[in-house]
Amino acid sequence: MKVVIVFESTHHGNTKKLVDDIATKNEVDLVDATEVNSVNYESYDIIGFASGVAFGKFYKKITSLAQSVPSGKKVFFIYSCGKNNKDFSQNICTALEGRGCVSLGSYGCSGYDTYGPLKLVGGINKGHPDESEVRGAVDFYISLL
């Protein structure tokens, strides 16, 4: 099974913490969405998308790169967010399923957030993702294989 995770982690590197640990412990290719204009999805059996959340959705570049995943591919989602109270992968997941992809599931956790006025109070979720949240992402990944 060849796996790639395309990630975008521009706010504080929170989501990158999750995918870096997955990649340290597993054979998986990582692609930084901010450094590419396309991904050769054909050569992978499973494709993961990992992102911070902005305005309730995965970041724009990752959403745009996800638009060219071929039909029939297995996909999964990982995210970190300021307020972990819903599944923020729903939008991107619905779009991919609409094009014939099969979702294996999603993992989300909290991430350090200093957006807007939160900056004035030093941000929220300092220290997150923490060790157990990172372990949770690795366990989620292993459960997919």
Ligand X SMILES: Cc1cc2nc3c(=O)[nH]c(=O)nc-3n(C[C@H](O)[C@H](O)[C@H](O)COP(=O)(O)O)c2cc1C
Q: Which residues bind to ligand X, rule: CB under 6 A?
A: 9-16, 52-56, 80-83, 111-113, 115
Query: Nearest approach, Cβ of 68 to ligand X (angstroms)?
Result: 22
Query: Nearest approach, Cβ of 69 to ligand X (angstroms)?
Result: 21
Torsion sign across C-alpha atoms 85, 86, 91, 97: positive
Task: Give, in order, the Cα–Cα distances in Å from 129 to each of 1, 2, 19, 22, 27.
Answer: 28, 26, 11, 13, 22
Task: Give, in order, the Cα–Cα distances in Å from 128 to each of 11, 12, 18, 133.
Answer: 13, 10, 10, 8
Smaller CB distance to ligand X: residue 80 or 101?
A: 80
Cβ(2)–Cβ(43) below 8 Å: yes
Query: Nearest approach, Cβ of 57 to ligand X (angstroms)?
Result: 8
Residues in Cβ contact with 34 at an 8 Å cutoff, skipping those fewer than 6 apart: 8, 10, 61
Smaller CB distance to ligand X: residue 80 or 89?
A: 80
Give the count of beta carbons closer than 10 Å to the beta carbon of residue 25. 11
Query: Nearest approach, Cβ of 56 to ligand X (angstroms)?
Result: 5
Query: Nearest approach, Cβ of 105 to ligand X (angstroms)?
Result: 19
Smaller CB distance to ligand X: residue 25 or 119?
A: 119
Smaller CB distance to ligand X: residue 47 or 53?
A: 53
Smaller CB distance to ligand X: residue 4 or 81?
A: 81
Report which residue's Cβ sits closest to ligand X: 111
